[in-house]
Structure 1
């Protein structure tokens, strides 16, 4: 028997062994797929759209990946722990806390700011008329959120600090319930919870983020995942850009898709959210991170982070580095 024939027989036996090891009906490509773990929040409009439409299932399959979705109400802990690969879009303040914790995270996209999409609200009949009137009052806020910074900055401008109020640290769903029950004198919150609160009862906006923060939202990923899988990151980035354009181009369709997912809301409430948000996904540029430094300095002064940070000294992935395909 020739060496060539022996080699061919060995290859055939090896192939048969591999096939036997696969479950019946499972194609070889599927067996080789890796899972991409993605987190999202209720405010993660574009990721919610991609999940609902199955866009990433389709786009990632040729790269040998499949998405796995994880819903969080509090994102800082899973971000610090590296619990997923690509993290939910977060308000500008959140990366300050993750940077302070030395979390291994890379910025890979930014949603252009929408300062009217987060605000400090009170009941319409409240005697509270100014930020200064919050002194001694119970104010609900989600710890580590962009609204945490809005409250800190607004209080500072009014000559107050957190010691002058009674902060109630509540996740957004808990805050919505507490505000509706009258347990809070004021609530600092972002969309879609802001729009939901406005739809449930008459409220008055004491201040939105205008003049305090642009309310950019950032998309971050684990350092090691970005380094090892740049084409996956590029694929997700491109899909986010397209989803953002779709929301603005098809507002009625977007509202109809999101309304049941956000808790059987009226499409009008969803439309309000979508009007206030830009959904314009762009690359992260270091030269445009100056506002992040303002947030870090405010948090340090308020003793919310333990040390001074250079908020512009972060790892950034650029979409031009590696395109999908």
Structure 2
């Protein structure tokens, strides 16, 4: 059995960015349903921070990373949608993309269209597929129609900037929040109908002003604890609170009765990996994402690049909210 060696980023215990270590790991042959992929670029995501810190617990040691692009190096038995030499990209469990080379399940790996670069492929999969399911699948009970208002927190981030553009293409009036005036300008430049600086404005009051007191049909929230209560105030009756992250910390427990008092609201906690649990679902969502990117309606903004060796600094910048758009690690 052929053994290769790959540089990889691993943690031996949960903690801060200082726990991220570059190590050499052995990489073998792919088994049934697996591929080996040689990475060209790696995506950085907030879920990586959650796994490093222990908010999302994993057995140790843990090789981090959920997203990357590269070239298929070997294919295991039963894999028919990929061949050696294919350009490919993925967002996938288990973690391990912070590496030069890895063996992984093939079901969530998709062929990357020739017109999309490896860097864009690495930056767009987890964030773009997240935006896809939020706007197309995590929908309020009354549906979404062109002209409807939606509220999107952290709209200047990687998922947010994709969602701003995609929402505009769908005819939605997206209200984006961000933490600085410069980020608000970025949100508007990417198709949001309105932008709110939540550090200087009461976003719930502004949403009511923008919507003529009606509120929005859906709030998309990856911030968590800091935005939760006021987000519920932004919803119209039968509105949907779609939580998909905890950048400020986990949402505290709440009594379901409050949802009735606020207008018979719905709450959902979404995760991408439920949506891409099958090969067919993954491919259908990826095809939708590739189409909207190739059409030019959604541009993938890579605003930060770090060599793999600088992964600690990349995590510090992400946690300090010093980043916009997408961040990638380069090899």
TM-score, scaled relative to structure 2: 0.32
Q: Which has the higher strand share?
A: 2
TM-score, scaled relative to structure 1: 0.33
Q: Which has the higher helix share?
A: 1
